[in-house]
Amino acid sequence: MAIMMTGRESCARAMHFCYGHRVMGHKGKCVNLHGHNGEVWIYVTRMHQQQGLDELGMVIDFSLLKERIGAWIDAHWDHTMILNKNDQETILALEKLPLDARQRPPFLLEGNPTAENLAKYLLWSVCPRVLQGLGVVVFKVEFWESFQSMAIEELDPFSPEVLALYK
């Protein structure tokens, strides 16, 4: 008797990086500049439920996720200050540092660089751009800012709005 499998196949890849940030307006110590050893988990599925796995039996090759998303993280967030674009006082203070202490400009985000906002940025902006045309969709991002704290951002991978981002 053959068993019909109808679930959605997916896979996930972790990526590690170090970054600094501060949360403007925070009432506690997170208002100060500080750093994290971050980890993101990227969850991927095929664009269409009926597609299943590719000819090799994969949703996507893990090395391709590292090559595309990992490279973006390395280029833009790893060992970088991630700041709210409205945090002009901190941005100006960083510009006054010697060149060897600020080899990378800060990455400026719309809103505070919280784990929630960083997960959302990866899910809705970065992943569609770097994985476009590969036949896969990132439907969930876990952003671990420490081994104790993480944010999760998810979407419906089969909604027309999401699919349009990946075509």
Domain extent, residue 32, equals: 10-166
Question: Does residue 1 fall inside a structural domain?
Answer: no
Say whether 145 is catalytic: yes
Question: Does residue 4 fall inside a structural domain?
Answer: no
SS3 string, 141-152, reads EEEECCCCCEEE
Mean pLDDT on 76-98: 95
**Overall pTM surpassing 0.85 (yes/no):** yes
Beta pairing partners, 15: 40
* Catalytic member of 21, 127, 145, 153: 145
Contact between 51 and 31 under an 8 Å Cβ cutoff? The reply is no
Domain count along the chain: 1
* Catalytic member of 30, 36, 76, 116: 30
Question: Does residue 155 fall inside a structural domain?
Answer: yes
Question: Does residue 147 fall inside a structural domain?
Answer: yes
Question: Does residue 56 fall inside a structural domain?
Answer: yes
* Catalytic member of 67, 79, 110, 154: 79
Question: Does residue 49 fall inside a structural domain?
Answer: yes
Question: Does residue 85 fall inside a structural domain?
Answer: yes
pLDDT tens digit string along 42-72? 999 998 766 778 888 899 999 999 999 999 9
Question: Does residue 5 fall inside a structural domain?
Answer: no
Say whether 36 is catalytic: no
| CATH label of the domain that carries residue 69 | 3.30.479.10
Say whether 21 is catalytic: no
Provide the pLDDT for residue 16. Answer: 97
Instruction: Extract the tokens encoding 141.
Output: 């991002």
pLDDT tens digit string along 119-143? 999 999 999 999 999 999 999 999 9
